[in-house]
Structure 1
């Protein structure tokens, strides 16, 4: 079988160079054979296929895109991506740039839905339409749009490989270009939205962690961490208690850790509980909703402060990308002197609180997911209205502050201080005496109507002046009229009601149901954390 597989790979090279239209069926046959050969043989095949993707192009644009999809499929079944993974990303950047030029010209020449990339006639008509706008670049622009979806599929697959994520993290120009493309066109091609999220995962792999309670500091390495919910659990597992590094706090439950690392078919039923408030070393709130890349960079290091909880919070366990395993390792603990230097540079204790505490709401990132937000593409839900990082803006290797603010909440502000009293205040000038006017005689107020079944209340004192007439409420559309009415009081308790089980919680029948949306726990966390959404 291995020999047959290797011959099929050699045939792919010959066919791709001479008969590009035959690449797609041959790629399907080769993938079927790949499931029956060892990973080493598949890795050899990927190395050969990577050569077909390198510029200058040895094969036609469409055939190369089909080969890229084959590379992604081999990675998804556990084959190390090797150089093929990086070549797929370079091809995505190249053709994605041409596709973006095509789409810009398409909008300038009338807009509307772009042509179907799988319909040659539609592409020919599109080329005739945008030709006057693009000139000599028309052919490459249309080709870019034709293959963009296939390269997005391949890129999403190869970014599941840790080595590919490390490679793109080290190539900042590639990272920023892919960020820009994925954000710009993610609303058209959903796979580009997933590419954007995987790029966020690839953006950071090391953090300097300062624990406020113990005064200690650690440098940690991690990979496969899609958000700070996952990072929080992994940090607690690595640091807390004698099983970790002796940091005070409660240990995470084993099922939380399994869900954050390598649990397959995770039901996402466990509820994790926070150990700390996550605050950036610059005094800005980071929180769990953001990604590790939102942790601010100070002198080349991402610095995260583990503050004591100011507000208890929980979340449903699970990895944002279940097919990618999460890992975290403490690389070193800083010595007392080096730790003291860092503690001297960060914000003082107690100066940053959880944004949901009263008075802090305006500094918190949105947590509850509305129905409208749940329908957004991944790119729209993460970065709606946020500029994409550019190579020139990277004084530090991170997304700009606007992106971090959107992903994790705006910067926390220091508490307001009462302004100092002035040294002396000149006495106010006496006001003119008011003209005396006769006070109106209050009219007596009639006693309230007696409640049926009760004796009328006796008079409690002299009549008081009637309340001023109520301020008229604004006219409400009939569809919203019910929202203004006070809910009717619950019926009086008349003993145990039928239909309830004997082992139900005491008093369960006495409570009104929670308002719509509150009783649905899926509304209290990110939409991806709830199965079925």
Structure 2
């Protein structure tokens, strides 16, 4: 949850109206007071208050400075989404801010490293570092340099409201993945920001057909997956569908581990349920696909993602809680491939021989 809820009276609708009016009047002092009152009111608001307030708060995001108040307002809108506000209605202003701050953070890094010398090492994202020396290091217009530095320091603050939307709307995951995921991964690769959750959420596959080949039995299947946060969860669901369905040999996952992977209601806190591995995940070229990775890591062959399952080389187990508590996963067996079709798919892999 973005905020810890306070148990005081809210009156959220009234304070949001005051904030809207203050912004429209371009009254800085009034806006500051209304902003603080709104953030406090959101944290104590009932669900019924949050539902209409979320889109109104999101609509105000572009009216605020790009760092400081803007991500905080996005977090307030995201909190309302967690409490039932429409994620689609709140999405565009939130992801507009995410997209801009990612671009600005990358520009900050480009300018910083372009100077060379001792300045090559990127600074930690802490607003305490922003001073005249740092801004001079970036060069160019001081106001622009300040914006870039603030983006570098605040990008992680956009992650909670973005996740609130992404974990509740497949439509929004599909809409924003292409535009935002590459920049998110590029910033994360600089190793100064923890954006793993945002990157994983943007990479979630929905309504995705998957060809699954079982190397030991030379059988093949079509499975349609969606909402799966990582390959641990995918592993459990494929074992449930294929082993639990009697299609391939092995030990099916426990009912509890399957429930944790699929239940629309998230677990209340961390559980002690353990899932046990049934397979080795392999790419068509024989490379290992790790449980710590994503379904998005599975390569496509002739426009279809193709996953090969093999017997595990050693026994492994993991906590069965899913990566995104509010995002239930699905895996549906849509078709058992005829033997000749399975052979054709095996022929597209490095396992086209006798399976040895």
Tell me which interval the TM-score lies in, with the shorter structure as reference length.
Answer: 0.7 to 0.9
Displacement of 1:223: 0.9
Alpha-carbon spacing, 1:138–1:196, altered in 2? closer, same or farther (3 Å) = same
Q: Do the aligned partners of 1:204 and 1:292 also contact (CA within 8 Å) in 2?
A: no
Tell me the residue number matched to 1:298.
301
- Report deviation, 1:52: 2.5
Please say if 1:179 is aligned against 2:189.
Answer: no
* Separation in 2, partners of 1:149, 1:335: 44
- The secondary structure found in structure 2 opposite 1:324 is coil
What residue number does 2:94 align with? 88
Q: What TM-score results when the alignment is normalised by the length of structure 2?
A: 0.77
Select which of 267, 275, 297 maps to 2:278: 275
SS at match of 1:345: coil
2:60 equivalent to 1:59: no
Alignment of structure 1 residues 265-344 onto 2, 5 Å: 265-270=269-274, 272-307=275-310, 309=311, 311-319=313-321, 321=323, 323-330=325-332, 332-333=334-335, 336=338, 338-344=341-347
Runs of 4+ in 1 over 6 A off after TM superposition: none
Q: Relative CO higher for 1 or 2, CA cutoff 8 Å, sep ≥ 6? A: 2
From 49, 59, 63, give the equivalent of 2:57. Answer: 49
Which residue is 1:30 aligned to? 41
Which has the greater radius of gyration? 1
- 1:288–1:326 Cα change, 3 Å: same
Assess if the C-alpha contact under 8 Å between 1:43 and 1:81 holds in 2. no
- Of 117, 137, 151 in structure 2, the residue corresponding to residue 130 of structure 1 is 137
Q: Secondary structure at the match of 2:47?
A: coil
Secondary structure at the counterpart of residue 237 of structure 2:
helix
Query: Retained in 2: the 8 A contact 1:72–1:155?
Result: yes
Q: What is the number of residues matched between the two proteins?
A: 333
Deviation of 1:67 (Å): 1.2
Q: 1:269 to 1:332 in 2, by over 3 A?
A: closer
Kindly tell me: are residues 23 and 211 of structure 1, through their superposed partners in 2, closer, same or farther at Cα, counting changes over 3 Å? farther
In the TM superposition, residue 70 of structure 1 has moved relative to its aligned partner by 1.0
Contact 1:80 1:161 in 2 (8 A): no
RMSD: 3.5
Shift of 1:232: 1.1
Q: Which runs of 5+ in 1 are unaligned?
A: 353-533
Shift of 1:350: 6.0
- Looking at structure 2, the residues matched to 256 and 101 of structure 1 have their Cα atoms a distance apart, in angstroms, of 44
Q: Is 1:234 the equivalent of 2:237?
A: yes
Name the CA shift for 1:44/1:183 in 2 (closer, same or farther; >3 Å). Answer: farther
Q: CA separation of 1:229/1:146 partners in 2, compared to 1, >3 Å: closer, same or farther?
A: closer
How far apart are residue 167 of structure 1 and its match? 2.8
Structure 2 stretches lacking a partner, 5+ long: 1-9
CA distance in 1, matches of 2:303, 2:110: 37
